[in-house]
Amino acid sequence: MTSSDRGYSRPTLRKILKAHSRKRVATEVDPLVYLNYILFIEELMQTATRKALSDNNKNVTAKDIRKATMVEPPRVRTTAQHSRDTTPWLHPALPSSSSPLGREPFQDLPRKTI
């Protein structure tokens, strides 16, 4: 690394951190920020390497890094997944025989067993 590739000086880095966090920044915080950055990059590369190996690639590409940074949306559970009960849910205030069609609700719908 040459002197022109050094990046920010310690006081400049402290000013940047203080401006972004809007809080007081101690004098010893810049090495911790750098180490945290290095740990993040290492973890990102390990995850990207696992993604590349799962796709049978030996080299890590930008596509693998994008896959590693993707956040999967949370899976929504239905009431059937919460309880293994196969009976349809009925409101507790309603009697089970009060169906307007004279049959149980959801009777004609196919059921999936999980």
Per-domain residue ranges of the chain: 8-69
One-character DSSP codes across 43-96 = HHHHHHHHHHHHTT-SS--HHHHHHHH--PPPPPPPHHHH----SPP--TTS-T
The whole-model pTM stands at 0.50
Residues near 68 by Cβ (< 8 Å), separated by ≥ 6?
44, 47, 48, 50, 51
C-alpha dist (Å) from residue 110 to 15, 24, 60, 106, 107? 63, 61, 45, 9, 8
| Homologous superfamily in CATH for domain 8-69 | Histone, subunit A (1.10.20.10)
DSSP state of 101: T
Give the pLDDT score at 1.
46
Taking only the tens place, the pLDDT of each residue in 21-78 is 888 888 888 888 888 989 999 999 999 999 999 989 989 999 989 888 887 777 776 6
Neighbours of 97 (CB within 10 A): 8
